[in-house]
Structures are given as C-alpha cells and as structure tokens.
C-alpha cells in the first residue's frame, strides 16, 4: 500500500476513535450520537457546492449506504450502553475486515498471501479480546452480541460504499450525500422512537458543540476512507482503518479510566504488526 494512502487511513483511524470516545463518554449515548450525526450536516453542506453530483449508477449504492450506516449507528449506541469502549469497539471493528476480505475474494478480487496475512493479523489482534469483561471484571456477553452485529453492519456499508464511490466519480460528493441522507434518516428515527430527545439536543449548547466537533471528525475520518477505497482494495483499506483500536484503547484507558489488562496489550501489539505488514504488502 502506498505511503500516502497508508498515512491517510491511519489519520482516519485516529479521528474515528476520537468521535467514538465522545459518544461513549456521553451520559445518554443516543443524545451524543444524535449530536454527532447532525454534526455531519454543516461540513457536508459546505463541501457539496464545490464537487460534482455522483453518477446516476451509484445512486442505489448510495441509498443502501444510508440505510446501513443507520443500522450501524443504532447498534453501536446499544453496545455502548452496556459495554466499555475498549470492549465493544475492538470486536465491532475486528469482525469487519474478515467479512470484507472473504466477500472481496469471493467476488474475484485478487489479494496476495501477504495481504491476506496482514488482514488476518489485524483482525486477530482485535478479536483476541472477544471474551470481554465489564470494567468491574465480570463477563458481558450482551456487549459481545451487540458488537458482532455492529461489525456486520460495518462490513456491509464498507463493501457497498467501496463499490458505490467507484461508480460515482466523486468521493467527496458521494460521501456528502450519504452524510446528509444518514442525518435525515437518523433524525426521523429518533423523532419516532425517542420523543422529546431532539428538542433536548437542540437546547443543550454543550451537546451541539460536541456534536459539531464529533461530526466534523467523523465526516473527515470516513471521507478519507471513502477516498482510499478508490486508491486501494476495499479489504485492505477496511483492515487498516480498524487500527483505530490502538487509539481507542489509549483514549479508553487514559481518559475514560477503563480497565487495562494483558489481553488488550497483546491485541494492540498484534494489530500493530499486521498494520506494518500491510504497509509493504502492496506497492
């Protein structure tokens, strides 16, 4: 993988871990996520006048992407309600590259043995803490189930967006329209299922500012990934993106005061080895 793409995706991973920590640290996870999703809107609106419209053939993929991002967000919220950031986040992110790689190979994408080994190393490093425990040390199977479901949504939207953006002819345009569509869908869902919550978000200045910060970070993070999908195989970009576990681990331990154990340290080291291998797996 080229150095520019490699470093860009690592930057995206850092931003992604940051906004996830922002959602996890909120007292009400749905309010925090609502702020982040709405926070996509200003930057997406700023970008759209300067980019072309996505090609018509990408529209079905774009619509599917909106639906899959919504599912991902709802299950992520549920997972964060019952599990630690350093529990839910690694499993959700670790399952995705394995699924994406398997589907990509089945669709005829050629990956070298070294590239597959790098993806497996990254995923293994993350999933090695799958038998998660709560902060108090007790096991938390419900968090595992939510995280695994979230990982399936991540894999699905990664594949759909990777194909869609290549058909669209405009990475920033494609992602901006998804961001706006997702914001509309999320707000509609929230209005129907959480009466009064939107009004609380709008009235809370702190939530709105945090949402703008988190939404901007989220928009930039996935915008980079969307662009990287046009530069490298979807499976490799997805795997490298999941090194965000390293940044999430540091945020969870040092800022959210979550529990650190040997399994998390080992998983981080294995993930780093996989990322290093991926850097040189494809020129």
pLDDT tens for residues 176-235? 999 999 999 999 998 888 878 888 888 888 888 888 888 898 899 999 999 999 998 898
Q: What is the pLDDT of residue 173?
A: 95
Is the confidence at residue 242, as pLDDT, over 70? yes
Query: What is the rounded CA–CA span in Å between residue 97 and residue 158?
Result: 9
pLDDT at 137 over 60: no
- pLDDT > 70? residue 133: no
* Mean pLDDT, the chain, whole residue set: 82
pLDDT value of position 202: 81
Token readout for 38 is: 């709405």
Cα angle, residue 217 at apex, residues 214 and 220 outer, rounded to 5°: 145
**Residues of the domain holding 101:** 3-281
pLDDT digits (tens, 9 = 90+) for 29-83: 778 888 888 999 999 999 999 999 999 999 999 999 999 999 988 888 887 777 7
The tally of domains found in the chain comes to 1
């Amino acid at each position: 993988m080229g150095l520019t793409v490699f470093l860009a995706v690592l930057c995206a991973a850092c931003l992604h871990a940051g906004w996830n920590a922002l959602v996890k640290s909120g007292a009400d996870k749905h309010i925090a996520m609502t702020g982040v999703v709405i926070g996509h809107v200003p930057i997406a609106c700023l970008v759209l006048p300067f980019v072309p419209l996505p090609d018509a053939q990408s529209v079905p993929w774009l619509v599917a992407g909106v639906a899959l991002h919504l599912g991902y967000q709802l299950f992520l919220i549920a997972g964060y309600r019952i599990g630690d950031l350093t529990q839910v986040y690694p499993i959700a992110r670790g399952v995705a590259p394995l699924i994406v790689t398997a589907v990509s190979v089945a669709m005829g994408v050629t990956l070298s043995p070294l590239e597959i080994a790098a993806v497996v190393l990254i995923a293994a490093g993350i999933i090695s803490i799958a038998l998660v425990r709560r902060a108090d040390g007790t096991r938390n199977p419900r968090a595992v189930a939510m995280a695994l479901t979230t990982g399936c949504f991540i894999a699905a939207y990664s594949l759909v967006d990777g194909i869609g953006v290549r058909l669209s002819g405009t990475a920033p345009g494609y992602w901006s329209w998804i961001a706006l569509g997702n914001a509309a869908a999320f707000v509609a869902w929230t209005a129907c299922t959480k009466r009064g919550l939107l009004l609380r978000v709008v009235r809370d200045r702190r939530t709105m500012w945090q949402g703008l910060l988190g939404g901007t970070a989220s928009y930039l993070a996935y915008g980079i990934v969307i662009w990287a999908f046009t530069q490298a195989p979807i499976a490799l970009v997805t795997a490298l993106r999941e090194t965000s576990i390293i940044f999430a681990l540091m945020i969870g331990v040092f800022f959210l005061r979550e529990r650190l154990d040997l399994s998390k340290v080992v998983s981080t080291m294995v993930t780093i080895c996989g990322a290093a291998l991926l850097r040189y797996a494809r020129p």
